[in-house]
Structures are given as structure tokens and as C-alpha cells.
């Protein structure tokens, strides 16, 4: 699908009342609703495959959306962001805040990118706020966090995790991102690295990962890993309908589609990948005891062909200890949920700051 305002139809906004608020500074849920946020927000999702932008209202509804392929240089990224945002034809009154979800380790206090190995390494050491602020017609707050945390926050506020206190989010794309909600708090850890679930080790002597480890989850289950398996099969001369794919090598969607149609090689690739992901999720379920596991990202376009066998894999691995079923479900806020989550993050940051200021002014007058 080409970028443009027509992309708004590709997103699905959720409209809810009495939604919980988020204390951004302590990353705990709160109930402050004294001054609701009324302006629309610009949400941005900077991923390994695509950069997405959307105007989102205060209820999580997407007004308009654009997207483009992720550039491979900083200069190209600046140009792409400028073009994406310009398509909205913003005026000074439309945008009340900007929220950004980005791969890597992000400092939410400064919006600085602390670590980002891979194709977007050129963002390391840069502040996302300084990248975006000049492109918005009027000065406004700009907040940022890791893309998977942002996606989970969107699900907490408007989606499948609403009302839950314990949830795990995995974003399945070029790599694998993750975020954890535990007892109502989004975990950050000592250095802000908590939740990088794509880098848990599932095969100690497995493939080398961009993080420097071997056998990380995303080296064995990700769009890139699945496509590499398909390319290897073709390179070996194996008879498979993957040879008839439009892409060279076949992309992840095509591998799943060939498997859906019964191609034996594609089925083997998908079955192995699902078994690995299911085992990893089972381990996370035992560690964090969530109420739900949420999957986002491009690979979830496979729908029930992915979710059904994955649920069965998680069920048999966890039922003895848990004595209950932990649902593994697709993200509901939008596709992708990152831009809506980024907008939610911005709304809560501004609302929390506004409410805090109001309380201080009230106390001073008293």
C-alpha cells in the first residue's frame, strides 16, 4: 500500500470512555483526569522496515496516516519525515504534541537514542526531539520511547490490554521487539533495556545477532530470519512453490502464503519458526505470569495461520504449572499499533504535566 492520506483506512481507532491515565514519569497507571487532552496528536513509528506517521485524536481514532520505507541514512530520514508530515498540511492549531516510537534503547527524559544497532545505527547519540521539532508548525511537547513499549501502552489505553495489569507485548517484524507490563507498570530495568525480548537466547550456539549475542529469538523468528530460510531452500535447489514468488528472495508474507497453500518446504519453515517462538513465549509466561500475550507487527498479518498453532504450542508448554490458559492475541489498536501508542504516550505526558501544574497552582492559591 502506498503512503498517503488513504492509508487512514488501513488503521483502526478505538473509542472508549473513562480510560486510565498514565503517569509517564514513574511509568505507573494513575487515574488523573482533571484536564482532558482535546487537541490531536502526531504519532510517529520509526521501524526497521517502515516509518509511519498518523494524526490521532484524543480517543485513539486515526484521522489521517502516511508511511514510507525506512531510509538508510540520516539525511534521507530527515527528508522522508519532512515529506510525511508535510502531507498532513498541518496548521498551527492542529497538533498539541508529538509522540515517537523508535527501535533501540531510548531515553524518555531526553528522547535520546542510546543504542540502536543495525540499519538505523545512524540515530545513535541523537535526540529524536531535535529531529522532529523543526518539522511541526508550532512548538509543542515531543516525547519518545522504545517502539514496543509505545505499542504496549497503546494496547493498554485503548486495546486488548485495557483493564489488565500484567501483559507481554511482542512486535514481530524485521526483528522482534518487546515490552512487559507487570503489576500495572511498564518495566524499564536498571538501564532502560528491559523488554528487549527479541534478544533472549533460544539457541546458545545459534546465528550471530546484531546485538553481539548468538541465538537470539529474532535470529530464528523474524521476517528477516524466515526470509533467510526461504532463500537457503531455493539456493539449495529444493523443489518448492517459493520459486514462483514475486519477490526474490520471497518475503515473509509470501512464505506464509505458500505454507497456507500446502507447500511442504514453506510449511517446514513456518512450523520451525512457530515452535521457536512458542517456546520463547512459554518461557516468558512462566517468568512474568501475564494475563495476555499480545502480538503486533507485520508477521501477524498471517492471522490464525500463525496464532492458532502458536496458541497450541504455548498451551502445552505452560498448562502444568499455570493451570490456566494465557491467550495469545493480535494487537487491536491499529495496524501497526505503534503510531497510536506513540500518540497515547504524548497525550498522557502532556495531560500528566498539565494536571500536576494545575494542582500546584491550586495549592499556591490556598
Tell me the fold of 165-330.
Nucleotidyltransferase; domain 5 (3.30.420)
User: According to the CATH classification, is domain 5-153+334-365 in 3.30.420.40?
Assistant: yes
* Domains of the chain by residue range: 5-153+334-365, 165-330
User: Would 5-153+334-365 and 165-330 be classified into the same CATH topology?
Assistant: yes
Q: How far apart are CA 350 and CA 365, in angstroms?
A: 23
Phi, psi of 107, rounded to the nearest 5 degrees = -90, 110
Q: How far apart are CA 147 and CA 166, in angstroms?
A: 19
Q: How far apart are CA 16 and CA 77, in angstroms?
A: 34
| Angle between helices 304-322 and 252-260 in degrees, nearest 10 | 80
Q: What is the pLDDT along the chain (366 residues), one digit of tens a residue?
A: 333 333 333 333 322 222 333 333 333 444 334 445 567 899 999 988 889 999 998 888 889 999 999 999 999 999 999 999 999 988 766 788 999 999 899 999 999 999 998 889 999 999 999 999 999 888 889 999 999 999 999 999 899 999 999 999 999 998 999 999 999 999 999 988 999 999 999 999 999 999 999 999 999 999 999 999 999 999 999 999 999 988 888 999 999 999 999 999 999 999 999 999 999 999 999 999 999 999 998 899 999 999 999 999 999 999 999 999 999 999 988 655 689 999 999 988 888 765 544 445 555 555
Cα distances from 104 to residues 148, 212, 213, 334, 337, in angstroms, run 10, 14, 16, 22, 17
Cα distances from 228 to residues 207, 221, 248, in angstroms, run 12, 10, 11
Amino acid at each position: 500500500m502506498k503512503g498517503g492520506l488513504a492509508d487512514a483506512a488501513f488503521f483502526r481507532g478505538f473509542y472508549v470512555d473513562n480510560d486510565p491515565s498514565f503517569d509517564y514519569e514513574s511509568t505507573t497507571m494513575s487515574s488523573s483526569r482533571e484536564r482532558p487532552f482535546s487537541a490531536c496528536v502526531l504519532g510517529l513509528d520509526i521501524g526497521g522496515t517502515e516509518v509511519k506517521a498518523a494524526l490521532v485524536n484524543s480517543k485513539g481514532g486515526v484521522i489521517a496516516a502516511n508511511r514510507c520505507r525506512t531510509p538508510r541514512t540520516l539525511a534521507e530520514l530527515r527528508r522522508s519525515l519532512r515529506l510525511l508530515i508535510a502531507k498532513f498540511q498541518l496548521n498551527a492549531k492542529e497538533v498539541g504534541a508529538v509522540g515517537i516510537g523508535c527501535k533501540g534503547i531510548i531515553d524518555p527524559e531526553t528522547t535520546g537514542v542510546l543504542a540502536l544497532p543495525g540499519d538505523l545505527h545512524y540515530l545513535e547519540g541523537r535526540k529524536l526531539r531535535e529531529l522532529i521539532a523543526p518539522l511541526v508548525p508550532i512548538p509543542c511537547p515531543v516525547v519518545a520511547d522504545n517502539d514496543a513499549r509505545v505499542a504496549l501502552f497503546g494496547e493498554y489505553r485503548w486495546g486488548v490490554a485495557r483493564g489488565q495489569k500484567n501483559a507481554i507485548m511482542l512486535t514481530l517484524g524485521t526483528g522482534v521487539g518487546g515490552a512487559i507490563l507487570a503489576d500495572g507498570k511498564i518495566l524499564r530495568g536498571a538501564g532502560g533495556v528491559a523488554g528487549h525480548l527479541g534478544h533472549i537466547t533460544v539457541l546458545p550456539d545459534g546465528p550471530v545477532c546484531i546485538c553481539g549475542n548468538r541465538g537470539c529469538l529474532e535470529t530464528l523468528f523474524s521476517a528477516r530470519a524466515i526470509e533467510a530460510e526461504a532463500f537457503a531452500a531455493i539456493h539449495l535447489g529444493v523443489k518448492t512453490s517459493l520459486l514462483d514468488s514475486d519477490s526474490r528472495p520471497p518475503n515473509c508474507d509470501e512464505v506464509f502464503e505458500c505454507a497456507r497453500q500446502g507447500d511442504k518446504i514453506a510449511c517446514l519453515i513456518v512450523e520451525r519458526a512457530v515452535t521457536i517462538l512458542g517456546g520463547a513465549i512459554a518461557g516468558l509466561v512462566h517468568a512474568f505470569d501475564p494475563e495476555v500475550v499480545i502480538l503486533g507487527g507485520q508477521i501477524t498479518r498471517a492471522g490464525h495461520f500463525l496464532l492458532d498453532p502458536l496458541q497450541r504450542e504455548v498451551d502445552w508448554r505452560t498448562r502444568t504449572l499455570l493451570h490456566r490458559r494465557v491467550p495469545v492475541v493480535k494487537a487491536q489498536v491499529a495496524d501497526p499499533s505503534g503510531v497510536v501508542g506513540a500518540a497515547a504516550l504524548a497525550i498522557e505526558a502532556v495531560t500528566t504535566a498539565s494536571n500536576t501544574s494545575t494542582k500546584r497552582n491550586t495549592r499556591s492559591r490556598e
